[in-house]
Amino acid sequence: MWMPDWLYEHLPHLYAAAALACVMIFGASLAASLSALLFACAATLTMLQRRRARTAPARQAGPRMAKR
């Protein structure tokens, strides 16, 4: 599925904002809390997956040699 770069990069932040909005708009009801929890989990998992994917090539390359 193709997605614009600006949306792809901001998606975890949108998930976190949706979690906050659920609680602020609907209060502390069970449905709002569950929705907020799911949005927060989606934001966290997305950020962790991206960090792991972006640092994997750097870890595989090994330590950098200092230039002389």
Whether 31 is in a domain gets the answer: yes
Whether 43 is in a domain gets the answer: yes
Whether 20 is in a domain gets the answer: yes
Structure pTM? 0.75
CA distance 59 to 51: 12
Indicate the number of domains in the chain: 1
Residue 60 has pLDDT above 80, yes or no: no
- 16: domain range? 12-50
Whether 6 is in a domain gets the answer: no
> And the tokens for 14?
């949108």
**Stretch 5-26: mean pLDDT, rounded?**
94
Whether 18 is in a domain gets the answer: yes
Whether 68 is in a domain gets the answer: no
- Confidence band, pLDDT 50/70/90 cuts, at residue 30: very high
Whether 61 is in a domain gets the answer: no
CA distance 18 to 66: 45
> Which string of DSSP letters, residue by residue, matches the chain?
----HHHHHHHHHHHHHHHHHHHHHH-S-HHHHHHHHHHHHHHHHHHHHHHHHHHHHHHHH-PPPPP-
Percent of the chain topping pLDDT 70: 85
